[in-house]
Every structure is written in structure tokens, then in C-alpha cells.
Structure 1
């Protein structure tokens, strides 16, 4: 039996694949490589000294999905595949809705046909929209403020409806906050194509001299230093959270949402300062306009994941920055 990892060549998918392989699972990976590289999968093999099957394909390709489930004994699915840029989703919303929602519908329909009813779904803290209070619990009101977040919120509702129609399904909805960092080997990390959309890859490329300065999107938020505050979580902690969620769906039917975060918030300027301290690098900054859909503060209440999954984030902001820089420094020519 194998675990199917959709989007397994991506940032979070590749780190979770490492942890799955190290934990003894067999995996099958599908990724269209639209925002990832095949070389990442080669490095996953190097880190773990294990092999796995890879399909370069899109979840919109139903025939390939059918072939995968017919060719492998799939026990459960960890579903990362999807477009994920808040800003881009506001510019091309139809593309986001079609890709993220239709792809997931295809996946679930094929899973259902083959009797595979165990799913760990990559959701997002964006489903909370503008939070009424922080830290944010899983019971907080939902209401995404951008098309990307709305695709996640719609898919959560679709998965709830799927479970209501057939309670044999076991689904974990993982609402994670802001993953940063990299594998401690420096072999895999966040490797966006073009100009990064996320803070730490942008900071890393400025530190490496690939970009001139960090553009901060808005300095007028209702926060102590005027920049947005987020709950940053090390990608390896996040990967471990997926394994804990997988344990749950493999043993219990039902559907539940879990926040994966640290419960601590850092502003953009605090992250930049932590990166400077961790690396000794200078990070010039400039301010530009806010991005549509961004909120002032987003911090997780991670208690439910601790109590029900036995998971807690272990790595602090210094380690996150050190590992992110090690990855960047090792891959300056990529």
C-alpha cells in the first residue's frame, strides 16, 4: 500500500515526502511541475536513500488519475496540489477556481471510485479571512478575503458535504499558517519560479544578491511597527503535522479541521531582523502598497492539533531563518 502525494515536488509536498519516506511509507507522487522542479524529487531520493514512483501530470487530467489508482494500491492521499499565490489569485481568479476546485473534484471522484476514502487536505489560514480575534481557533468564523482563500474554503465545504454523504470517509483539513525554512540538509527548500510571492524566499534572494531589496507590502497595518504579523512555522514541523494527520485518517473515520501553527506572531520587520541575526546579511527594504486580501494579524491557536493529533511545532524563528539561508546559499546558481 502507498500514500499518494499530490503536488509532491512542491515546497511543502517535498518536505512531507521526505518525512513519509523516512517513516517507512511507500509513496507515489504526482506533480505538473508548474511551480516546482524535477530536481527536487531527485534530492528527496538523495536525502532519504529511497525511491518512489513519480507522474508528471495535472489533476485536471482525469485519465492519468484513473491510471495511477489502477496501477497502485493507494491507501490514502495527501493533497497539496494547487495554485497558492494570494496576489496572483486576485489577478486571475477564474484560473484559480478552475485549477484548484476542478482538480480536487477530479481527485475525489477517482478516489471514491477506487474505494480510497482517506484524505489529508492542504487548506490554509486564509479561510479565516479577517479574524475577529487572535489567536484564531478552528471554531472562528470563516470568510476568505481573496480568490485563493475562497478556493480553500469552498473545497473544505465540498469535503464536508462528501463526508456527510458517506461517513466512511476520513478527512483531515489542515489549516496552516505561514511555512518558512527548509530541510536542514540544505538540499530542498522553497524554490519559487520568478519573483517570490512569500516573505522569506524574497528576503533570502535579497541576502544572496539576486534581488536588490525587499519590497514590504504595506507599512500602515494596525500593528506595533506597521507591518503585517503572521504565525511562521518551520516547514519540517509542518511536514510532521501531516504525518500525524495521516495517522489519524488511517485509523479514524470523520472529518476535522486543525490549525498548524506555533501560536506566536512576528511582523515582517521582526522576521527581517531575525534573518539578519541568523545570517549576518544586510537586507535593504522599501515599502509599497498593500496586496489585496492581506490582513493585519494572523496567529494560530494550535491547541487542538496538540490535543487530538499529538503534534506541536518545535523549531523557533532563528532555526527557520538559518535553515532557509542554508538552502539559499547552497543553491545560488539554480
Structure 2
């Protein structure tokens, strides 16, 4: 990916990222900044994230820009490393409209990467209405605002949980969606809503607009951090996901003496759940190349939509994963090697909403987008531990 755009001073495209300060959002924004093609706008209510993450992302991008430049970077390149930050709840429709309106005189918002969502499988079954309001209603509100301001390029960051218990492994994009948890069902609903939106948008002459384009990249399990240790994963409160929980246990910010494993009687080699882990920077790169494919007239855009049927709308789904998975116990062993911490485990009952195995078939993303996820599990654990050691209390 290019690290400078100093030889081509086309105006920066305004790209809005929802949930920009979160784990995935901050690394996606970092990857966007490195292209020096976009002016990034972040919307986040900081429910599970910290504003400091965005400050660090911008600082990191500017430092790398200066280090990579033989001469003084252009004013535009420097501006491309600065993030326009807005604290806002997506369900606050008037506030979101105000943000869109403020860019009307600056070329408008060119595209949106929608990442913001509540995402804890267990919690979702305890407070389902909160999850439906935050994940589904907010997505509808966002789409209405996008339509009002003529912004019709969307990357929707979905989740592998939309596949429920898949009939076949690895999972292809055409696998039926059902979701075995409240969280998973909110993601399924959002995908269907976006698809219906793409199908319905007509221009004044009654024809489907050629530029209506959306992606739903089902995201498998992101892990790791930027290798500098300057940005990484830091949820508010106790981590819900396995890898950050293990990192917090090793650094001492989670004092549990034993890791509770939710079931060891699944139909997998060691009885524990298997997930397709990929490095967060590989995942971020997948989001950005998908966004670049929405640029009309580009070679990538023509390749991606060559087989699209206009009457069915212009949307594509891609699995972003490595194509092979690791079990809970394999992850524990890998983190034991990375951290030197002697993890103790205790098997308890299964957790509602968990499925035995989620492994992507990323062949379509590789063929059409050139997507790859080369970083291995050892690298993910090393980068995660480097972040945690340097930032034991995260961004706080």
C-alpha cells in the first residue's frame, strides 16, 4: 500500500468511519491515513473505546509519513494524517445529519465504513433490545442520512456470527445467514437492510443508480496490534474476547487465577471452539481495498462489479479471514509462549450463542480484491503482547 501521495494532488476524498476509536476502527483509520488519499472523519460515542486512540493513530501516521519522505511532505499529505473527530451517537439522527451537512461545502462525504456496533455475544442475550436499538436502528438511521446527502458508497463491517452453525467448513459467502445469537441476528438484519436499500434506490428516471455499491465483509476474528505497540485493543472494562483477556491476565490487570473455558465437548479436535484469527492490520487492509473498489472508473471497480446484475443492486460480500482456524486451547498455548505466563484453565458449561467452528473461505476476496492475510498467529500474539506490556492500562 502506498505511503505517500505527494506526486498526485487530487483532492482528498472525505470518508466517514463509524466506531473509529474502537479496535477495528482505529486500525482501519490508520490504514486509510497511510494511503494519503482520504480525509478521515470519525464518529464514535466512546461506549467501548477511548478518544486517545485516535490521537495516537494520527501521530503514528504523521511520524511514518515524515520518516518515509525524502523531502518535506506536502501540506495535503500532512492534512491527510489528521482526523476530524466527532463524539456522537449514531441514533442521534440530527447530530449525524449535522456532521454530513458540515462537509457539503467540502465535496461531501464520499464514502462510509460502518463499524460501530455492540458486539459481545453473551451480553447480547441479556440485553437484546439494547443490541437491536444500537446495531439495527442506528444502521437504518445512518442509511437514511446517507441517502439524504447522496452518499452511496458503503463498507459494512459485519461478523462471522451471521453464519450461525454453518453447514460446511470453510464458509463461503453464499452460505445462508441466520445468526445463533442476538448479536449475530443484529448483523444478519443489517446485511439484509443494506441489500434491500441497494435494490431500492432509483434515480429520477426510474433506473437503478449505477453507483450504488455496498460490501458486507463478514469479519472473522481480529487479533494483534500495530507492531510499534502504540495502538492496540483496549475495551472499557473487562475484555470479552479471548486474546485481550489473556493479555490482561498476563500483565496483571485482570487478576483471575484461572481462565474459564466455555465447553470442551464441541465436535472439534480438542473439544473447544475454533475461530479464524487474522491480524488486525490484515483485516484493516481488507476494509480499505474494498473501499477503493467503490471508486468508479477504476480497474478494481470494473473487476469487482463485472458480474454484477444491475437489477439486483451493486453489492458484494467478502469473507475476510485466513482460511484456517485455531481452537481456544491453541490460542492459550500460543499466548503462553508469547508472554511466558503460566495460564491455568477450567472448563465450564457452554456459553449461549457460541458455535463450534467458524473458518472463512477467503478465495473470493483474494481473487477479486487481492486480499491477503499473511501475518501468522505467532505475530498476532507477539504484537498483542508488545502493545499490552507498553500499555498495561491501555489508553487510560
Q: Quick one: distance in 1 between partners of 2:351 and 2:60?
A: 37
Tell whether the 8 Å contact from 2:122 to 2:352 is kept in structure 1 after alignment. Answer: yes
Mark the runs of 5 or more structure 2 residues left unpaired by the alignment: 1-12, 63-80, 202-207, 306-313
Deviates more, 1:110-119 or 1:66-75: 66-75
Larger Rg computed on CA atoms: 2
Deviates more, 1:27-36 or 1:176-185: 176-185
Tell whether the 8 Å contact from 1:170 to 1:250 is kept in structure 2 after alignment. Answer: no
Q: Quick one: distance in 2 between partners of 1:325 and 1:286?
A: 23
Alignment of 1:38 onto 2:51: yes
Q: Quick one: distance in 2 between partners of 1:239 and 1:246?
A: 11
Tell whether the 8 Å contact from 1:129 to 1:142 is kept in structure 2 after alignment. Answer: yes
Alignment of 1:223 onto 2:268: yes
Structure 1 or 2: larger strand share?
1
Please name the residue that 1:151 is paired with: 186
Q: Quick one: distance in 2 between partners of 1:98 and 1:208?
A: 35
TM-score, length-scaled by structure 2 = 0.83
Please name the residue that 2:88 is paired with: 57
Tell whether the 8 Å contact from 2:39 to 2:83 is kept in structure 1 after alignment. Answer: yes
Ranges of 4+ aligned residues in structure 1 off by more than 4 Å: none
Deviation string 1:169-217 (CA, Å, 9 cap, x unpaired) is 1101110111111111111111111221100001101111222232211
Q: Quick one: distance in 1 between partners of 2:110 and 2:348?
A: 47
The two structures, once aligned, show a CA RMSD in angstroms of 1.1
Deviation string 1:32-90 (CA, Å, 9 cap, x unpaired) is 00000011111111111221210000000111111111111210000001111111101
Tell whether the 8 Å contact from 2:159 to 2:218 is kept in structure 1 after alignment. Answer: yes
Mark the runs of 5 or more structure 1 residues left unpaired by the alignment: none
Alignment of 1:240-279 (within 5 A): 240-251=285-296, 252=301, 254-279=314-339
Please name the residue that 1:305 is paired with: 365
Please name the residue that 1:2 is paired with: 14
TM-score, length-scaled by structure 1 = 0.98
Q: What's the CA shift for 1:239?
A: 0.2
Please name the residue that 2:225 is paired with: 182
Q: Quick one: distance in 2 between partners of 1:148 and 1:273?
A: 28
Please name the residue that 2:110 is paired with: 75
Deviation string 1:290-321 (CA, Å, 9 cap, x unpaired) is 11110111100000000111111110000000
Q: Quick one: distance in 2 between partners of 1:246 and 1:190?
A: 23
Please name the residue that 1:87 is paired with: 122
Alignment of 1:231-242 (within 5 A): 231-242=276-287
Please name the residue that 1:286 is paired with: 346
Tell whether the 8 Å contact from 2:54 to 2:83 is kept in structure 1 after alignment. Answer: no
Q: SS of the residue aligned with 1:133?
A: coil
Q: Quick one: distance in 2 between partners of 1:205 and 1:31?
A: 24
